[in-house]
Amino acid sequence: MRVTNTGLISTQIYQTQRNLQRMGKLNEQLNTGKEINRVSDDPYKARRIMGLKNEIAYTEKYNENIDEVSGWLDNTDATLDKTGMILNDFKESILQVGNGAYSETEMKSIAKEMDEKVKQLGDVLNNAYGDKYLMAGTELEEPPIIINEGPPTQLEINPNIRPEDLQARLNIEISENINVDYSFSVDDILGIERDANGNITSNGFLDTINNISITMNDIANGVDVEENKNKLLFNDDSLKTELDDFFDYTVNIRTEVGTNIQKLEKVKDLNENNLLEMEKLLSVNQDTDYAEKLVEYSTSQMIYQASLKVSAKLIQPTLMDFI
């Protein structure tokens, strides 16, 4: 096979260009800190890196969801705690009514205090997290409780909220294929029951609070005092007994809230561990080994310089060099 000077020069220029491209790629890897900077560098690794980045982004979003829901549940627990404290205040006021030594003026004062406590309970059940009402089911924009100031002060469910919104719970994904319900509506807190059409069949503990308010007001105003005292305190199915049941009911809901918070903490720990593993794997596939690349770059630079020297000797002078 005949080898020409032109052929040698073309081959040499091509190899010199390849050496320069190799140096350019190594320089880019050193500057960016990434082994793969475009899909063409290594299609298989590039696809794996993109998949890992997507998984990391999803997991970080799951943790954001967990933080948001944890804040919501913490506020729900605080609301239930305040509810329990107000119910204890109710109980103290009811027990005071049973004391025959109180005068009519003192009874009216107790009834007035009860009115204020009913308002407080309504305000607590209307607590918001940011600009969203905690106990409004999936409605969020409407306060769930309407406070009708008295005396006697009465509470009612906001008629502007659809029954299906109060019966539904907010749900969010906290990890792959793991979802959690995290909202509790006033229907849940007050034990309100509805039929299939959303119509209320039992007002639950809402009736208890309203009846206590009415009864206390009647006693303060001298209406059927002994009968109302029995209704309030001494009957087997007294309002005090219902109030105790209401308190126990809120404790059970707080237990459910606490269980959900624990679940969130465990899932977040799992997510954090997965993030660490995925970030390690991403680093293995993507990050540049600086020591290795510096050695390769130095070697490539030496080869390129040698290539230039060979090219200088290989390319023969022409007549133009002598003119």
300 assigned to some structural domain: no
8 assigned to some structural domain: no
> 72 exposed, middle or buried (CB, 10 Å; 0-12, 13-18, 19+)?
buried
pLDDT over threshold 90, residue 12 = no
1 assigned to some structural domain: no
**8 — pLDDT class (breaks 50, 70, 90):** low
CA distance linking residue 165 with residue 138, whole number of Å: 5
- SS3 (DSSP) at 76: helix
CA distance linking residue 20 with residue 40, whole number of Å: 18
Q: What is the pLDDT of residue 80?
A: 96
The b/e string for 37-68 (b: 16+ C-beta within 10 A; e otherwise) is beeeeeeeebebbeebeebbeebeebbebbee
22 assigned to some structural domain: no
> 301 exposed, middle or buried (CB, 10 Å; 0-12, 13-18, 19+)?
middle
Distances in Å between the alpha carbon of 263 and those of 110, 267, 274, 285, 294? 43, 6, 17, 33, 48
Reported pTM = 0.77
Domain span at residue 207 reads: 55-278
| Pairing verdict, β 132-133 and 128-129 | antiparallel
315 assigned to some structural domain: no
pLDDT digits (tens, 9 = 90+) for 233-259: 888 789 999 999 999 999 999 999 999
pLDDT digits (tens, 9 = 90+) for 144-201: 999 998 789 999 999 999 999 999 999 999 998 889 999 999 999 999 999 988 899 9
- Structural domain total, the chain: 1
Q: What is the pLDDT of residue 316?
A: 63
173 DSSP 8-state letter: E
Distances in Å between the alpha carbon of 265 and those of 130, 149, 268? 22, 42, 5
Q: What is the pLDDT of residue 305?
A: 76
CATH of the domain at 244: 1.20.1330.10
Lowest-confidence range among 85-94, 204-213, 278-287? 278-287
**Angle at CA of residue 283, ends 282 and 286, nearest 5°:** 80
71 assigned to some structural domain: yes
pLDDT digits (tens, 9 = 90+) for 110-146: 889 999 999 999 999 999 998 899 999 998 899 999 9
> Among 180, 198, 200, 182, which Cα is nearest to 190's?
200
CA of residue 126 relative to chain centroid, distance: 21
CA of residue 235 relative to chain centroid, distance: 46
CA distance linking residue 248 with residue 78, whole number of Å: 16
CA distance linking residue 123 with residue 190, whole number of Å: 14
237 assigned to some structural domain: yes
**Which residue is listed with tokens 């596939």?**
285
Neighbour tally for 152: CB within 10 Å:
21
CA distance linking residue 86 with residue 155, whole number of Å: 15
Q: Give backbone dihedrals phi and psi of 219, rounded to 5 degrees, phi first.
A: -65, -45
Element (H, E) at 146: strand 145-148
Q: What is the pLDDT of residue 43?
A: 79
295 assigned to some structural domain: no
